[in-house]
Amino acid sequence: MKQARAILHGNGDLQRTLVVVFLRGGADGLALMPAVGDDDYHRARPFTAVSKAAAIKLDERFGLNPLMNALEPTVKEGALTAVHCVGLPPKDATHSHFEAQDLMEHGGHAGGGWLGRFLRFREQAVGGALSAVALGQAVPESLRGAPSATAMQSLNDFSFSGGDKFVQSLEQLYARQTGVFGVRSRDTFNALGRIRELHSKEYSPANGADYGGDRFARELRLAAQLIKARVGVEAITVNLGGWDTHLSQGPLISPLMRRLANGLAAFRRDLGTAMRQTSVVVMTEFGRRVSENSALGTDHGRGGAMYVLGGDGAEGRVIADWPGLKRDALVGPGDLPVTTDYRDVLIPVLRRHAPDADMARVFPGHEAKPFGQAAESA
């Protein structure tokens, strides 16, 4: 049996899981991943810049914001790829949150979402009941068109209200179904059984992982619980909002950066060896203006930052086709240009999870460029 098929049918014991974290509001890439080795960065942000001494070193030019120090072990273990100057291509340039999120989640101008198309356009693409899970109140645009997608805020959201006898009756009713319908019904009841097992005992994160009590942490905790329970989950989406920091950026963004880093670090620690089959992508609709404004905030920009976390040795780089921060290198009213299309970051991650997926259908109209070969922080 091919692994791609085993991912989709049965108990998911061979599955890979992709977790997509979307930072809604336009997260400032120069705050998350400051260019501490570029003198022009410090000139552009005299009051809000991070010092080179304080930053967690990524390479000679870039550092991780010190408020994200929970990820320092991930950096040292080579399990983090950090990408700068990444975002929507120039033809789709916009400073509108709604337009940028829409374009990015659709993967361009195609119908449906890029993640939904990825789950659909593969060999034997018949998703189980929990193959795609949106942690929150609604399924995001990126999952539109998936064979199956479920929004949940807790395990209680995935259950039948009729009790065990009702479920058993339904299971007997559909037991003799064949074809795709039979596969889906069996996957659904299999997932229900495993969810019932999760309900029967309190979840204890492994390896001393401490998630904390904020909503983002709780959602990542639930993500880890679903992955380790082998319910067949292939894709999980999580949102962390509040990144639109036009004024007083420091006080607004500081707790968000801590939440982001603490949650990701706890998730990685909790999964342990299961991270070898798990990838986490952190993305946002656009970055912020290079210069801080008079209210000590930053306005909407273009190029931003992305992170990829994993555990199979495919990470551990800083990738940035860096133009510098002098005025003639910027675009528009002072934005960092996009030198890496976000889709070129996603494509190698998706290929790790399903080598047979047709990327021309996942991102129609996009001509993929080799990612990271000539742009490793050069």
Name the pLDDT band for 174 (thresholds 50, 70, 90). low
Q: Say what the pLDDT of residue 144 is.
A: 96
Model confidence at 7: pLDDT above 80: no
Of 66-75, 79-88, 151-160, give the lowest mean pLDDT range: 151-160
**Rounded CA separation 353/39 (Å):** 40
**Rounded CA separation 279/309 (Å):** 6
What is the phi/psi pair of residue 241, to 5°? -100, 180
**Mean pLDDT across the chain, nearest whole number?**
87
Name the pLDDT band for 168 (thresholds 50, 70, 90). low
**Residue 310 identity:** G
Strand-pairing partners, residue 64, are 56
| Domain covering 3-362: architecture | 3-Layer(aba) Sandwich (3.40)
pLDDT (average), residues 264-281: 96
Name the pLDDT band for 164 (thresholds 50, 70, 90). low
Model confidence at 254: pLDDT above 50: yes
Model confidence at 299: pLDDT above 80: yes
Q: Say what the pLDDT of residue 182 is.
A: 58
What is the phi/psi pair of residue 237, to 5°? -115, 140
Of 79-83, 151-155, 198-202, 362-366, give the lowest mean pLDDT range: 198-202
Strand-pairing partners, residue 319, are 83
Name the pLDDT band for 12 (thresholds 50, 70, 90). very low
Range of 91-100, 351-360, 361-370 with top mean pLDDT: 91-100
What are the DSSP calls for 255-309, one per residue? HHHHHHHHHHHHHHHHHGGGGGGEEEEEEES--B-SS--TTS---B-S-EEEEEE
